[in-house]
Structure 1
């Protein structure tokens, strides 16, 4: 499949249902952007030319700051940092946002049989992917003198989601002792959902939200088109046809081994650590993209499937009806390059 010049034509994904009417005549697309959570954010939304953009930007920043105050390990006095330092047996009433995320995280952990584990913070830090600076749990993988942890060090790190006691009705989480929560694989998606919600609450129903590459789109653009985005490939020269998607009432998140990795005695190591083996994944899966109605779930499930690998990940996506695209890096014996697999629900979106 190609277009003029030999370039591969994009595959197109569209939602199964289109709801709502195009924006009223005379409205325009506004854009705002900034930095948060160690990355960037951007929003586009439809509204009259007279919108007070400073007020809208302030509301967005407040949402992101609240998520940081709740779930950032990089902030010593955040809610999650206080929990991580707390003595064994202490119960903590979580804020609504934190409670929503931990509830989803524990569900994904249970269904994936621990492929995703919100208590893997100490283990992730051992491999150099935790916070840096004076509050760091261990040196960063890109710091001078970093060495991968030994098997004994990995075995000694507290990691086990089932050790947590979560009272859903009371929003109380009990620290079992030594548990280090790390919600970085799901909190960013939650932030995207919260920014989308605040835009809707301001009457801006037609919008596209992006934080660090995770996106959620709602409504339509002034000309009646949905918000079109191209899914991020594992590399610009991967040889795969682009995938273009209409984000209308949908969110998309991608986990990949191409964003952060390190060299371990000549071997390329992914930043994705498997809590079950306590080592970075080695199955060759380059990226996983999940499409869901909520960015939080797309974010969390993309990580779980990335840990599970191409076969088990695709099987679970099909069992759960998740729309997922898995891209595997072929080894030299297979001729190199990449191959992709679409779950059944993802194929339903293709036109």
Structure 2
């Protein structure tokens, strides 16, 4: 009877029209290899989708990948070498800092801070100082997992200008781009101020907005100069994404906008309900997430987030992710995924309150 809020995924099954498209593709015999960079209909559909919200992105700049994390690994393989220095805005989903390390790069960390108003903030000057003139790349995840911090457009432009001057790559993980709660269609994107030839790689995924976590499909937007190399890297890693999954993604992009918007609206209601309930619990402080699907909260006096998370499983029967999993900056925090029905969120918050009262 443990209530699970540790996973970063929607609670609902992938919408039926997407599942039906995959079934139809399988029934039509789509069980063979495809082009390394993705099937043409999907790359064209992604180009059209991106063009509705950002400057035009030619389909030749789009690389279809076997998941968002595969996209991030491919990006790192394309631009990093052993000994390179990478700068990351943290706390951060651990894969994003471990991928460069696996490839032999060093990762410097620039932490977000929680303001008295419970908003997550980035010291842009500190980030630019850390990047300097010799970093190979900077990694930004906005909206951010685990905090929900969203990078303002002005900060993106300033970061891009600095990196342009010094030939530094930007890897922008925009997996949660559509999951924002200010009424806009999406969060600011590095695609907006950038030119096609900038040293910018944007990674995205079908997992979150279209509720397709188990389908393992993502994409990259890259400069034209990287396309050939990315094709080779896809070949060496996975060869291609499954055709029937790609066919389903075409339908998701074509017919799924209302589903995405409804999902985001519901996420916003769930966020608000959880934050209001947590605010009523003595000793709990939760940052206000601008996007994504997580509340990153701390409990007064808690120093060991892993021990606390284990204790909550054993004694309160609620599962939260320990903040230290997202780096040392997350120690003392817990990540709570609020992509669950409101009654479950409120019941779990009540369990947390009773647990803290017994401590």
Same fold (TM over 0.5): no
Of Structure 1 and Structure 2, the greater strand share is in: 1
Q: Quick one: higher RCO (CA 8 Å, sep 6+), 1 or 2?
A: 2
